[in-house]
Amino acid sequence: MSRLRFCVSAAYVWLAMVAFGGIAVETIVIYPNVFHDVPRSLTEASSFFDVTGPADFFPPMGAATLIAAVVTLLLVRKVQPANWWFTASFTSLSLGEFLFSMLYFWPRNETMFDEGTAVHSAELLTQTAVEFEVGHWFRLGMSTVTATLAFVGLLRLHRYASVQTPERITAGARS
């Protein structure tokens, strides 16, 4: 059980870190191009992301990360030194990334990229882009928190497993 617990937890940490890296790349490489000359740059970005784009990567990545977090929580629920860290990471992930994205970013994505200039004025698109960029810094921060808390949880789990005495191992096998 402890090997499975460690492997699933390590997979969750890996997914959280890859998601953080993706959001960081979006922030540093992609968004300066997408938002440099709204609304024209939004149209160009939509054309550029015609084959594949962030919307194709982040939803499945987020779902995989969320599932790995839930399974990790189930597996570490009795390991007190790690449980709090993984619970905090899951909370950051589910509220600060997923729920925030759903409520804040999804409507703005629709306004900027789906409806665009065919429905909205340049002024509204510019304001929406500014709101999006400001909110994105919060999302990047929450992703940092999620990955960091998960990593600390994994370290605590590893430390817990490495200092187990034979009595603790026997007691753990009975529970």
Task: State pLDDT tens for residues 96-107.
Answer: 999 999 999 999
H-state helical runs in the chain: 2-25, 31-34, 40-48, 54-76, 80-91, 100, 106-109, 116-119, 122-162, 166-174
Residue 161: name the closest of 9, 45, 30 by CA: 9
pLDDT of residue 174: 54
What is the average pLDDT across 8-15? 98
Query: Would you mind telling me the total number of residues written for the chain in this entry?
Result: 175
- Radius of gyration over every alpha carbon of the chain, rounded to an integer in angstroms: 20
Lowest mean pLDDT among 34-38, 55-59, 131-135, 163-167: 163-167
Task: State pLDDT tens for residues 110-131.
Answer: 999 989 999 999 999 999 999 9
pLDDT of residue 46: 87
Using pLDDT thresholds of 50, 70 and 90, give the confidence band for residue 55.
Answer: confident
Using pLDDT thresholds of 50, 70 and 90, give the confidence band for residue 82.
Answer: very high
**What average pLDDT does the chain have?**
91
Rounded Cα distance, 74 and 89, in Å: 14
What is the average pLDDT across 4-27? 96
- Is 80 exceeded by the pLDDT of residue 67? yes
Using pLDDT thresholds of 50, 70 and 90, give the confidence band for residue 170.
Answer: low
> What whole-number percentage of the chain has pLDDT above 90?
81
Q: Which two tokens stand for residue 36?
A: 């440099």
Using pLDDT thresholds of 50, 70 and 90, give the confidence band for residue 171.
Answer: low
Q: Which position has the token pair 């937890």? A: 9
Q: Is the pTM higher than 0.75?
A: yes
Residue ranges per domain, the chain?
2-174
pLDDT of residue 122: 94
Q: Which position has the token pair 């890996």? A: 14
Rounded Cα distance, 114 and 112, in Å: 6
Q: Which amino acid does the sequence have at 3? A: R
